[in-house]
Each structure stands twice: as structure tokens, then as C-alpha cells.
Structure 1
């Protein structure tokens, strides 16, 4: 086998829209002595699935370890060629001669780096289009002292890289830093004007601001004496804007294109000024904004009854956390209580807005922290709702409900699953069978809640099977009834809504419209969270009755508890579940009839419609399909 002459290194992060076209174009090049290496920094879309269909080596680095220089260095370490070509994943060659042209200047031993031309698309913003045409002209040239390069379309000598690897601490412009260093050693930079790539930029103005800001931080790091004051920013804006206008008018650009000029140049000048005039280091928050911007859509409850679908960065993972691509999330009445500030958590100030709701979820693992064991990428998972610190005495005894730092997913100071990607502590996740249906698996959480409550009511299942009254035919009531029937108990479901009662599709479960005759039942499950049914359970139950409260939220009530004491009644409260109940729920949910639960599926964009449908009260469950 002949030696590889050229190694092509491509950096990727969520490039499924573009990577296939680039790899197809590489296959069609008239230069054939090459290999491709993809360095991926945590793609959560189909980028790597597409790449696996091509002859390419895939190298992965953790998102927290990413920098442009680090990614390039990882690719170069795997490269076998004498030359290394870099191409942005959102580019593609204009013809089949690009690869030959980008490496041909290396016939001159004094050339250490080559960079090629960038071509705009119809969607390129007008100001950037003019910048492309200004910076990347139609004539090739050799740069002897001017330190410039662009690794979105470039090539270097491997021998030089081995002596001078890329700086990994820079937030950009690692190509200019490298060009400066090899020029100091007597090598030249070659601009190859006919080695052309179409460069696809579809950035929002916030992303443009961040791009110029991070490049300004890097530039100041490379050239410490450089300055960019307010006057510089103002003059730059006043100089560039009219030139853009003239270019747009002479090119007969549309009004939409012309309207891009001012916001683009403002983002550029402000980003550059802000980057120059701050400390050279970058924070973790800045890394998120710079490297992983606006790729995660989430429903955010901003304040009571004020909500919005917002875009943001991927959550930053700690070493023990897992990033989940949310498949489905069930709409729970608790989500609506959070929205309307019905819970004491919020009225007391313990829980704070804004919050991403949703705790009944299923999904797949797309990233994991460095210390996570027992999970692999693409594992299907569900997760617990109650989050303790994991180290206090309560948590060590498996009772996170007593933890002073207790949180609840999507409810109490922890963002939930109405989002494309969410993070969770790995210790609270449970792996599902690969064949599991995620739309049904999102019901594991409420099922685990029912299992825990019924264990408390029935003394861990040691009570002899007898009749149980269930007040409420919603999600919790229906699941409790099916669980009881599965264990041999006779369950009767009461509700004022005949449509919901009709959804209890079981020959062994009785239903009754309205609530009456509770004196016949020793066990009662209150699953509505409403005052009326609760009062009936307290007043009309038999002597010695055990009453399980599973509904939320219960409002204030005047009640003489002498009736509880005098008639030997027991009131049991239950919320959430523990690992033990989750395991049992995963083993059980496949045995239940969940057909009616999965009939009403909405998209994330339709979340408000899902809420409205759930609030109508005529269905068992609205479910949001996120992916």
C-alpha cells in the first residue's frame, strides 16, 4: 500500500446538514492520495452517523476540552500524510480540483502553509459576502511578512506541525498565530486563489458578535500591543457600513440583504471592542457561547403564566453527569401548577423562576462526563425526579426527600425535560432495553410514583388483597388501578368525568361516576389533588381506613382531626419515587395497557396546545415528542 500523501482534517460539531456534501465532494476530487480524519467535539445530531458511511477516521474529544487548536492537534496526531489539509465541515469545493490545488504550492520547499479562497452563498449576509471578496481575492500571492491564514480552507506541512503544534489556549485565530511562527523561521504563506471552497455561514447576530469577540480575545493574546478603542470601533463602523451600502446598490441586492448591513457591522465592531478590552482568558460560560451557541431549544416558564420557547446553549456537564437527547416528555398537572404558581414550593420562595418544566421523560444518551460508568452513547434512558445531594445521611439511606439540598426535575430548582437536550446526574438515570418504545417509557416516572405510594398504603404489599377506592381517573388514578389489578386487588375508580372513566379499559377494574359509598373501602387513594374529593375521603371513609394522598396541590382546608383519631384512620402522604421504585416501574410498564396514554402527541413547538389539551381534563395524557 502506497504512503498517504495528504491527510484531510475536518472539525465537526452538529454538522449533519453539511458534512455529507463535503465528504461526497472529497470522494470526487481528481487527486486521490488522501485520507480523511473527522475530529468531533460532541455532536448530538446525525453528524457521526453520516460520517460512518464514508472512508474516514473519527476522533472524539469531550466538549469541555474543545478549542480550535486542540481539535486540529488531535487530527494531526492521527494523520499519516506529508501534508495536512483543513476544511470546515460547513464548506464544500466548487470543483474536483480543489484538493490538488491546495497542496500544489508545496512543491516550493519555502512554502509552509497554503490557504484558499472562500466563496459566498445566496444566504451569506451582505457584509460578510463583501468581506469574502475583499479578503480572498481572485489573484494568488505569497505572504512573506503578513501573518495570515484561515484553517477553514488551508493546508500545512506535517513536518512543521510536529515542531510547532497549534496553541490550544486560544479562542480562535490559531491559524494566524501559527503563520506568524513559521514566518519567523523563514517559511512563507501562499494564498491559492483558485483553491475555492463555498463557505456556509448561517449565523444569528448574537453568534456573529461572539465570533468577533472570541477572535479579538485571541488576537490580543497573539499581539499583546494591539489596541482597539471605542473610537476604533466607531470609525470602523462608519468606514465599513457605507462601503457595504455602495456594494449592495451596485450589485442590485435586495432590501432584505441591505437590511443586514447595520446589524452585522454593529455586531462585528462591538464584539471586537468587547473582546479587545477584557482579560485574555475565557470562562466556561464564554466557551458555551463561543463554541456551542443557540443549539438547544427549551420551554421556559419565566414567571407565573409567562412562558416562551427559547434557544440557548447546551448544558455544561460535570464529570458525573449525562447529556440526554430528550425523546418524549409527558405533560403532568404539576407542570401546569408550576406555570400557575399553585405549589407552595413557589409561593414560599423555595423554588425560583425561571424554570424549564417536565419530569416525565425518556431519551437517549448523547454525551457523558469523564467519571460516568455504566452508560454508553445511544443508550435509551429514563430518569428519577427527586434529586438529593447524594452525600448526606438521608441520601445515604436512600431517602433523598429529607435532603436539605433536595431538588426536583422540572419542578424545584432543576431544569426539566421540555427541552431538546437536558443534563442529569448519572446516578439518577436508568438504562432501558434497546427495543423500548420511548413514547411509552416516559410514563415510567409517574408509574414509579404510584408504586411508591401504593407500597406505603398497602404495607409494602403485605396486606391481603381487598377492595381499594381510587378517587380520580387521570394518569395517576389509572396507573394505580392497573397496578392494583396486576397484584390481585379489586379496584374501583371514581370520577365526575365519564370520558375519563371510559378510558379505564379493564374488565377487572370497576368504575363509578361521582364519589359515593366510600364507607365500603378500607383503602382509599386520593389522586385528584382537589379539596372536594379529599373532604369526602376524610369524612365518609370507614373506621380504620387508610387514605393515600397522591394528588397535588391541595389547598387550605378546615378539618377537625379528632375524626381521624377517634375513628382510627391513617392519612399517608407520598411524593416522587426512589431508585427501587424506578427499577420496579421499568420492569412493570410493559405489562400495562398504555394505549390511551400515547394517543395525543404534540411537538415541542406545540407545547402550549399540549398544556391546553391536558387542562381540558378529557384525556389521560398529553405527550410532547421532542425528537
Structure 2
């Protein structure tokens, strides 16, 4: 049926690992068919080229990729600054598509079905999987990360268990936002009940704006958004922000006190991950307020510990999302419960992707979420 072509090294000098076979790229059809893909060759080099067409194994489905978002982590991988993309490989982990073929033992999914994809193939057997934390699986394979090929290609094969049907009326571009929306949803969930509360969101990148959509859905009494970009603040207002603040143009702390009767906000969500924005979020909290850190940009930041101790502030970190959270987000989109459409800045072809990676890396301008559509 199929044959193994080759295997990629997981890290420099490490043993060759057969796990990449399951991503599908290294398995071609008997007819030798090919497909188009964007291949990450080395830092700052992406090529649009033909690669062997993938074929599904047992328990897998083959998708025609209809939409795949360019994540900030993909851009950092393109620049070669994270160590999380090992060339040569195909990036892309925010994707949705149409099932065109099913492998042996596939029972629930069918051809023609439209699905969003949970981009982590988990073992289901390790300690973390048994606890339900499959996103922390000790033997996981994340599509489009390290050496596991992702969805910046015409086709990809993924486990049936990773596919979640999306309604016909949902554009594929919106379907590709399920992955980053799940990140934001998990972060906001740490705040628990928000009805009647004042919430600050710092940072209006993709995750920050998706967190805004989640906060809006949870009926916060007042939503304040802070960012240095007026164009992104306009999008925040379009998505439901009550108050927007550009700290580069006005006194941030004074405005916060003005909007909260001098008390500060109940919850501050930080979606950048830099010292200045973390400090901004913490300074805006009322006594015993809660900060949620979703941003993951700098490994080390400077923070006023005495302020946290003496004002009894709560800090909650949030990382990725679980299987059930991903499922919940799909249900929210299918039920038209959350609005994320304003985030998509451009829909482009696969062939245009290398140029947009360069732009996003060096001169993104007003671009927020760029989605490759097919």
C-alpha cells in the first residue's frame, strides 16, 4: 500500500524517530502522486514546492486543508529563534478542512465532512492522558511543531479522534480560529464567573482579541482594553470593548481609576508576555484582584512582589488548552455564541504564504490574523 520514504531527526545528533511517519508527509501513494506545500528549509527560508502526497493510515483521515492560520509561533519558527521548528518541515497547526479519504478502522468521521482539528496526537495511555490533560501528554506529537509536518499543504492526515465537525455555515477561515480561540478560552476560564465584573485585557494580538470575545460572551459588566495600536483598539471596540486605552497617548493608571471609581479592575488578562504589559496589568488590579497571564513572550520579567503580597493579588498562568476545551469552543462556534470574524485581516493562497511570513516577521502593520485558504 505505502512505503516509508525517510525519517527526520528530532534534534541535532539525536536518534531518528519513527513518530513523524504518522504526520503523513513521508508516506506517498503507490502512484507517486504529489501535493503542494510550504516547506521550512532554514531560518528565513520558506519554499512553495511539491512534496509526496499523504495517505491515511489506520484510524486516520485525510483532509483537504481548506484554511490554516499563521500563528505568531510559526513566524518565530520561520525566524529560527525558538528551536520549536526543525527544518526541513511543514508548519501550520491552526487548521480546518474537508475529509476526502478515511483509513482503516475509522468509524465516526466520513468523507465530505467539514472539521476543525485538535492539532495534538496524544497517546491516551500516559499519566497525563489518564488525568484528562491530553495537551500535556508525555508522548504527544503536535502537528506543525518540531519535526512533525503540519497543515501549510494541500492535504494532511490526522487521527480521527482529533477531528471535530463544524457546521456548513461556518467559513473555513473561522474554523481555523478554533485552536487560538481554545487558548483564549482556557485563559478566561481561570477567572471563573465574570458577570457584573470589570475586566482589563492588555494586548490586542490574536489571543488578546479572542480573549476579549470570550469575556464578552461571559457578560462582564465593563471591558477595558489596552494597546499601543489605535487600529487594533478599533477592532477591540468592534468586538465589544467598552473602553479602550492607548497608554502611549494617555495616563493608563489615571484612566483605570477613572473607569473603576478609584478601585481598580476585578480581573486583568495579560496577553503579551513582556515586563511592561505585565506590570501594567498588575497595577490596574483592585485589592485581592486576579491576574491571568496568557502571554508567553519573555521567559523572565521583573515584577513588584511586594505589591502582590501586600494587596493579596492572585496570579494565574494559563497554557494551551485541553481536548474538552477544544470541543467546547467548536460547540460555541457551531451555536453562533461567539464572534471572532473581525480578527481575520487577510485570506491568502498557499503560494502567497512565504511573502506574508516575511511581512509578518518584519513589517506586520495592521495585520492580525492571516489565514491561508485553499
TM-score, L = length of structure 2 = 0.81
The structure where helix makes up a greater share of residues is 1
Conserved in 1, the CA contact under 8 Å of 2:2 and 2:29? no
- Residue in 1 aligned with 2:245? 512
Task: Find the counterpart in structure 2 of residue 545 from structure 1.
Answer: 289
Q: Could you tell me which of 365, 369, 373 is aligned with 1:621?
A: 369
Q: 1:228-239 residue pairs with structure 2 within 5 A? A: none
Q: Does structure 2 retain, via aligned residues, the 8 Å contact 1:604–1:624?
A: yes
Within 1, Cα distance between the matches of 2:203 and 2:241?
A: 17
| Superimposed CA distance per residue, residues 17-72 of structure 1 (whole angstroms, 9 cap, x where no aligned partner) | xxxxxxxxxxxxxxxxxxxxxxxxxxxxxxxxxxxxxxxxxxxxxx659xxxxxxx
- 1:432 to 1:312, Cα distance in 2 relative to 1, 3 A: same
Q: Is the 8 A contact 1:481 1:509 kept in 2?
A: no
Structure-1 separation of matches of 2:134 and 2:27: 31
Offset of residue 446 of structure 1:
1.4
Following TM superposition, by how much is the alpha carbon of 1:591 offset from its aligned partner in structure 2, in angstroms? 3.5
Q: Secondary structure at the match of 1:591?
A: coil
Q: 2:231 aligns with which of 499, 514, 530?
A: 499
2:129 is equivalent to residue 398 of structure 1: no
Residue 532 in 1 paired to residue 269 in 2?
no
Q: Residues 512 and 534 (structure 1 numbering): CA distance in 2 closer, same or farther, change over 3 Å?
A: same
Aligned equivalents of 1:301, 1:486: Cα separation in 2: 38
Q: Unpaired runs of 5+ in structure 1?
A: 1-62, 66-283
Q: Structure 2: state its 5+ residue gaps.
A: 4-21, 258-263
Q: Is the 8 A contact 1:611 1:622 kept in 2?
A: no
Relative to 1, partners in 2 of residues 1:546 and 1:302: Cα closer, same or farther, differing over 3 Å?
A: farther
Decide whether aligned partners of structure 1 residues 394 and 610 sit closer, same or farther in structure 2, where only a CA change above 3 A counts.
same
- Partner of 1:445 in structure 2? 179
Alignment of 1:73-222 (within 5 A): none
How far 1:498 moved relative to its partner?
0.3
C-alpha distance in structure 1 between counterparts of 2:33 and 2:293, whole Å: 42
Distance 1:570 1:342 in 2: 32
Q: 1:316 to 1:492 in 2, by over 3 A?
A: same
2-structure distance, mates of 1:563, 1:304: 41
1:420 to 150, 154, 162: 154
Question: Which residue of the partner structure matches residue 333 of structure 1?
Answer: 72
Tell me the SS of whatever aligns to 1:502.
helix
TM-superposed CA distance for 1:438, in Å, is 1.1
Within the candidate set 188, 212, 219, 1:454 is matched to 188
State the Cα RMSD in Å: 2.7
1:579 aligns with 2:323: yes
In structure 2, how many angstroms separate the alpha carbons of the residues matched to 1:289 and 1:432? 28
Give the Å deviation of 1:449: 1.4
Q: Is 1:302 matched with 2:302?
A: no
Contact 1:407–1:413 at 8 Å: present in 2 too? no
Contact kept in structure 1, 2:38 and 2:354, CA below 8 Å? no
- Alignment length (residue pairs): 337
Whole-Å separation in 2 of the counterparts to 1:408 and 1:288: 18
In structure 2, relative to structure 1, the CA distance for the partners of 1:443 and 1:503 (3 Å cut) is same
The Cα of 1:472 is off from its aligned counterpart by 1.2
Does the Cα contact within 8 Å between 1:337 and 1:553 map onto a contact in 2?
no
SS in 1 for 2:39: strand
Shift of 1:508: 5.4
Separation in 1 of the partners of 2:133 and 2:117?
16
Q: Give the aligned partner of residue 474 of structure 1.
A: 205
Q: In structure 2, which of residues 58, 65, 83 is the aligned counterpart of residue 319 of structure 1?
A: 58
Contact 2:78–2:357 (8 Å) recurs in 1 = no
What's the CA shift string for 1:178-209, capped at 9, x where partnerless?
xxxxxxxxxxxxxxxxxxxxxxxxxxxxxxxx
- C-alpha spacing 1:450/1:420, structure 2 compared with 1 (3 Å): same
Q: CA contact under 8 A between 2:120 and 2:135: conserved in structure 1? A: yes
Matched with 1:602 is 348
Task: Give the structure 2 partner of residue 50 of structure 1.
Answer: none
* Aligned-pair CA distance for 1:564: 3.1
Which of the numbers 338, 347, 368 marks the counterpart of 1:592? 338
**Structure with max Cα Rg:** 1
Provide the TM-score with structure 1 as the length reference.
Answer: 0.50
Residue 434 of structure 1: which of 162, 168, 173 is its match?
168
Q: CA offset at residue 381 of structure 1? A: 0.5
CA 1:417/1:529 → structure 2, altered by over 3 Å: closer, same or farther? farther
